[in-house]
Amino acid sequence: MTAPDDLVARDAAAFFHQHGSSPCVSALRAAHGLWLEDMNGRRFIDLHGNTVHHIGHAHPEIVAALKQQLDDLAFAPRRYTNAPAVALAQALLTRWPGPPARVLFATGGSDAIEIALKLARVATGRFETVSLEGSYHGHGFGAFGLSSATSDPRLGAFLPGRHHVTPYWVGEDGPARMLEAIAGHLATGRIAAVIAEPMRSNCHVPPADLWPRVRALCDAHGTKLIFDEIPSGLGKTGRFFAFEHFGAMPDMAVLGKALGGGMVPIAAVIGDARLNVAPELELGHYTHEKNPLTTRAALTLLEIIARDDLVVRARDAGGRLAAGVADIAARVPGVRGTRGLGLLLTVEFDATCFGQAPGPAFAEHLVATCFAHGLSTTAKGGAAIGLSLPLTVTEAEIVEVLGRIEAVAGRL
């Protein structure tokens, strides 16, 4: 049997190193539900899951569906359609709360973001964008440039015409400054699209009137509004689309991550059918665009979410988690509470209670302490951790998570 440390070392020697993945912290041998198990037999509750584990890891119905699809039809060249791809498209369109729409599939969220950008460009005849500084939209040269105005100079130039505004979560006047900056950019008449996560996955909830006001600005200037729902869609926030919380209908939304049931990579762009204006262009020419395996996994995911009423469960379980953390905060100095919606949450800490300042050092210490208590998570700012759990989480699992969070607070 391969030793865990040897496998991690071999991984580090084989892969290009990059922030956040290589070298790895450990090697897994199993993932089921909300649990991860490494090759040393240590078990962790997965509070991160790269936001793919909406129905838990290795859901048996997704496994069975993929096995059956392998026997039935494992691949389809993109010039041919197939039953799972068409059924998935129709299933997504039935959940779309706006006017008639159409879809395109891609192999990942970054690619889907770039499809949405292409659609906005051809529909408006413009090519410039507005996005929020500190957002995240993927790592393609088009998508990554939307996240930050500046990048490492070694990477060179990204797409031209990118404009970044200070996001709503920075400062008390953040929403007002964001709206003013967007209005200024749109007034130039050069902006094809405003693109944003309706709620950033750092879980700062925007003011109720923010996105309706952005929608009105876009309408006034002929600009398309694109919502990136890659981490927040598919019921995670207690609504099928996160934007349904905020009273603003986008021209397009992008889904990804969990869409493949936590097992296979697939993303989707859903947009107003009136954007169907460039059939002569290759907008999303991907080899696996209508892959029957990935679309079968996504279709099965949607069936499970609907059948088991998991959107409502996310809302209710999220409320239970938030109340549980509030109870801990009332007893334990240094725990502030939660922020977010549904099961897309963070737990906030007061670093000063532990003799530290909020920032990267405290965040690293916080994540390491969680790891030591069997919680796999990531930092969400300088004094918070992610608390993202599957929509299938049970009451007993919520109790277990809350107990470990309290234990972490007692050891910081």
User: How many domains does the chain contain in total?
Assistant: 2
89 and 114 both lie in a single domain:
yes
What's the domain range around 211?
A: 60-307
Q: Which of 290, 307, 324 is the last residue of a domain?
A: 307
Q: Sort 257 into a burial class: Cβ within 10 Å, 0-12 / 13-18 / 19+.
A: buried
Residue 2's pLDDT is 65
CATH at 363: 3.90.1150.10
- Angle made by CA atoms 91, 92, 94, in degrees to the nearest 5: 65
pLDDT in tens, the chain (412 residues): 567 778 999 999 999 999 888 898 889 999 999 999 999 999 999 999 899 999 999 999 999 999 999 999 999 998 899 999 999 999 999 999 999 999 999 999 999 999 999 999 999 999 999 999 999 998 888 888 898 888 888 988 888 999 999 999 999 999 999 999 999 999 999 999 999 999 998 999 999 999 999 999 999 999 999 999 999 999 999 999 999 999 999 999 999 999 999 999 999 999 999 999 999 999 988 889 999 999 999 999 999 999 999 999 999 999 999 999 999 999 999 999 999 999 999 999 999 999 999 999 999 999 999 999 999 999 999 999 999 999 999 999 999 999 999 999 998 8
**What residues are paired with 1 via a beta bridge?**
none
Question: Are 227 and 291 contained in the same domain?
Answer: yes
- Which of 292, 276, 270, 296 minimizes the C-alpha distance to 103? 270
For residue 402, give every residue at least 6 positions away whose Cβ sits within 8 Å of its Cβ, in sequence order, or none: 321, 324, 325, 328
Q: Are residues 181 and 72 in the same domain?
A: yes
Residue 162 identity (one-letter amino acid): R
Q: Are residues 46 and 9 in the same domain?
A: yes
Cα gap 193→399, rounded to integer Å: 43
Q: Which of 288, 307, 326 is the last residue of a domain?
A: 307
pLDDT of residue 216: 98
State the maximum Cα–Cα separation within the chain, in Å, rounded to a whole number: 64
**186 & 175 share domain:** yes
Q: What local confidence, expressed as pLDDT, does residue 366 receive? A: 95
Domain stops at, among 276, 307, 338:
307
Residue 38, class by beta-carbon neighbours within 10 Å (0-12 exposed, 13-18 middle, 19+ buried)? middle
Same domain for 359 and 213: no
Report the C-alpha gap between 299 and 322 in whole angstroms.
31
Residue 49 shares a structural domain with residue 68: no
Same structural domain, 66 and 144:
yes
68/158 same-domain check: yes
What confidence score (pLDDT) does residue 1 get? 56
Q: Are the C-beta atoms of residues 386 and 377 closer than 8 Å to each other?
A: yes
- Considering the domain architecture, whether residues 48 and 94 belong to the same structural domain is answered as no
71: which residues sit within 8 A by CB, 6+ positions away? none
Rg of the chain over Cα atoms, rounded to whole angstroms, equals 21
What CATH number has the domain bearing residue 124?
A: 3.40.640.10
In this structure, the answer to whether residues 131 and 237 fall within a common structural domain is yes
Q: Which letter, b or e, does each residue of 57-75 get, where b requires 16 or more Cβ atoms within 10 Å of its Cβ?
A: bbbeebeebbeebeeeeee
The per-residue pLDDT for 142 is 84
pTM equals 0.95
Q: Do residues 400 and 299 both lie within one domain? A: no
